[in-house]
Chains A and B, each alone.
Chain A
Amino acid sequence: MSAANLTGPRTLFRKIWDAHVIADLGDGFSLLQVDRHVVHDMGGRSFLGLKSRGLALRHPELTFATADHAIPTSPDTDWSSYSNPYLENLREGVKRNGFKFFEPGKPGSGVVHVVTPEQGIALPGCTLACGDSHTCTVGALGAMAWGVGQSELLHILATQTSVQQQAKTMRIVIEGVLSRAVTAKDMILHIVRKVGASGARGCAVEFAGTAISAMPMEGRFTICNMATEMGARFGLIAPDEVTLAYLEGRPYAPAGDLWRQALAQWRNLRSDEDAVFDSELRFDVSEIQPQISWGTSPDHVIGINEVVPDPQDEADASKRERMMAALDYIGIEAGHPLIGTRIDNVFIGSCTNARISDLRSAASIVKGRSVAPHVEAWIVPGSFDVKSQAEREGLDRTFIDAGFQWRNAGCSMCGGMGDLSREKVAPGKRIVSTTNRSFVGRQGPGSRTHLASPAMAAAAAIAGCIVDVRDFGATA
């Protein structure tokens, strides 16, 4: 299983795997080289471990950092004086070990999984690790990217390697043309619902098919971002011309001769015709509606025109119990549609949906309208650069004029940790959020989350309740 198989047909995942094996540890495990290691503010504590063990950062030139989880996103933040203990630890680690840190409030900074592709740090065929479960996001570039815990993060700092198990491979082939106002987010919410929260557990999932090849790069990040919500360890999309056009000219992407050399390799970076996957699933997405989550697991999802499922119809006793607990927590009734459910907050942001195309999509719904008076609605761009681009396009005016808060980049309310956990949803409050997890207490203790696309979230902010974005004249 783990021995290099360099002659037979191979999957994209296997090709990247084989190119990074330093040592075979047996039983399907290998010691792999990590090409890019990205650290965020919560990982700053690992530098304490490096220091206490008297270890050096092995490859500072392959290590990058950004602060996103615990920093404030208030536009009034004065970065010349702001600090917090996590940020201080990270800055101290940068000072001692000398690697690139994108200081918050400066160009290049932002949410780690938005920053790594934007800066050309993540590349096709590379291995990339980060202490965050949504690292699979950047697999959309044809990279093998995975999340690690803090102890493994320390291991990578010290060795630039990681022990990994050869994952089972799954191909998800997605065909069809999305109908009006249905986005990449709706597509992946639909797929997570069908596959289940553990349906791809431990797998390397390659997304393929005409719906993927027709999708712009930013939508592909949204797709791979939620691979972890099916239990997958890796999400990948083979690089194509869309990928290459996206990467060319980015600050840390190769240039000149190196770019041409890289291209020659990247153009062959795809699963061979006759490569065998451990499992394969097919979806036709032409018929799907805008999607929204109703419960406390990311697979608790319905189309906006459906009713909330009844636990009594669920045969599996364990699932039934969890559905009942979810309904109780979220405070909705089975058998009814979600449309018309009053909401308190809207959050448009996160590594799932805070790129420029997401903000454009939300702005197209918002333009000329106003946020409902009882709703607190936030726009939190994915990065400093996304924010600047949006401001050049005047999207900030659209949002501010409508009554949204136009904020700085960061994770903010997604995990309820922004500004040392001050940026969160109040207990019992209901939010439509463009994030990826609807877990109990995820966005703050007692918070009730409904996951949706940026357009759906924008429409909900205006209506003050859950609505079908297609009733808002959406064209996107």
Chain B
Amino acid sequence: MQHKSTEITIVGGGVVGLSVAMGLLDAGHRVQVLDGVDSDMRASQGNFGLIWGQGKGWNFAPYAKWTYAALAKWPAFGRRLTDLSGMDIAVEQNGGFEFFTNADEMDEFAGMLANQQAHLGNRVNHEILTGDEVRGQIRGIGRDVVGASFSQTDGHVNPLRLLRALRLAVKALGGRITMDAHVTKITPATGGGFDLTLADGQQIGTGKVILSAGLGAMKLAGDLGFKTRIRPQRGELLITEKLGERLPFLSSTIRQVDEGGIQIGGTKADAGMDDSETLNVMAGLAKHAVAVFPALADVRVVRAWGALRVMSPDGFPVYAQSQRHSDAYLVTCHSGVTLAPLHASTLADWIENTTNAPDLEAFDEHRFSL
């Protein structure tokens, strides 16, 4: 039996785990990231690549503020990732729209944005546009669009290249990433730290352990005394053929990848661990896209897939230290792309409990046991 010792082990090599690894490596720690197997539910390989703030935390001020702090850090974070990885991850943060074809839904969202604005003050602002105003600004918007909201700080990134760049950045900073390392058991070791058992029987010793394996972390989290119950939320996506022209807008449901293909998505469904796609949902997505931008009507869809979002009971991130084992942490959220710059910096202060540690009390899991 092999027995290795690492200072901090991160269980989960997706966008969240790798971001956290970057921050801890910057803080001078030895870090090992254990990534799962290909058959795992990998949210980091199915997502939409949005760097997005509109509406987030409208009913929970700490999340609104955390999200906007991340948006402000994205430009520098994107540059650093490129420096470390040598990859262009196609960050574009020139503002994004939320389009509406239903006036009541539009009014409801405008109300949510007003609430969000109240939490954020004047540092951030958004615009509400009528259908005609949108059509005046963007050529080709459909006449069924009754209005839109716009926020200057929203943007997007190439999600698969982001994941690859994060891997390369972690390695460049001296971190170790082990693939095909499915952790089956975490046992507190005598004298502190933990022993991790992998599916192949290998044992790994570690001082601290951070669970950021999305849906895959749930059993391990329960074993370590965490109370958070993560649930999957299915989203479906369409991908079109690549276009030589740029789409004249970015929205939360329709975005053009830098290579030219258009992603259409944004659906939400409770379907357990079933990540398959469904015909009626795909048809609804296509209809929405054509209503917003009728020129898409003759553009072919070449791929479609379902993927599972990682949702906490209230949808907000969870940053929790285990009550039972103080060297075990749970870091899980839905918005791993948007929040990456914070996970890769100030979250390390929280894990180290330095004087610069952000106040993440609001994101502790004790909120679920109230």
Whether both chains belong to one complex is answered with no
